[in-house]
């Protein structure tokens, strides 16, 4: 990650491996209650698409719920570690996300199920 493109390469890793594996688990194993929590998290993101600070919190919650569905504490720990790392290393960048970027994230969340 010390190279110029290292951060971008790392961030591409998340959707390719961790999130897609969680989405697969969600599609196969999620209970009705878990799907309801997942859908509520999507609605929270939708509600805050115009409010960047609240959208970021809703987005983090969405991904946490996704990480909880397999009921494996290691997945939640990985999620927590990644979120903490992203917050600590990208705080300024996330503060400048636009409604358009938030809307793209929301559409990706909806497509998960």
Question: Per residue in 52-111, pLDDT tens?
Answer: 889 889 999 999 999 999 999 999 998 898 888 777 765 555 556 677 887 888 888 787
- Tell how many helices (H) and how many strands (E) occur in the chain: 6, 0
Sign for the CA dihedral angle at 41, 47, 48, 54 comes to: negative
Can you tell me the distance from the alpha carbon of 109 to that of 105, in angstroms, rounded to the nearest whole number?
6
Asked if pLDDT for residue 45 goes beyond 90, the answer is yes
User: Is the pTM for the entire model greater than 0.85?
Assistant: no
């Amino acid at each position: 990650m010390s190279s110029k493109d290292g951060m971008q390469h790392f961030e591409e890793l998340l959707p390719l491996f961790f999130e897609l594996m969680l989405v697969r688990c969600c599609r196969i194993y999620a209970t009705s209650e878990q799907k309801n929590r997942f859908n509520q998290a999507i609605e929270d993101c939708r509600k805050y698409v115009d409010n960047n600070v609240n959208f970021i919190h809703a987005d983090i919650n969405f991904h946490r719920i996704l990480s909880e569905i397999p009921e494996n504490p290691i997945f939640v720990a990985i999620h927590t570690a990644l979120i903490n790392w992203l917050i600590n290393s990208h705080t300024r960048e996330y503060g400048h996300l636009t409604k358009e970027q938030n809307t793209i994230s929301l559409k990706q969340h909806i497509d998960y199920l």
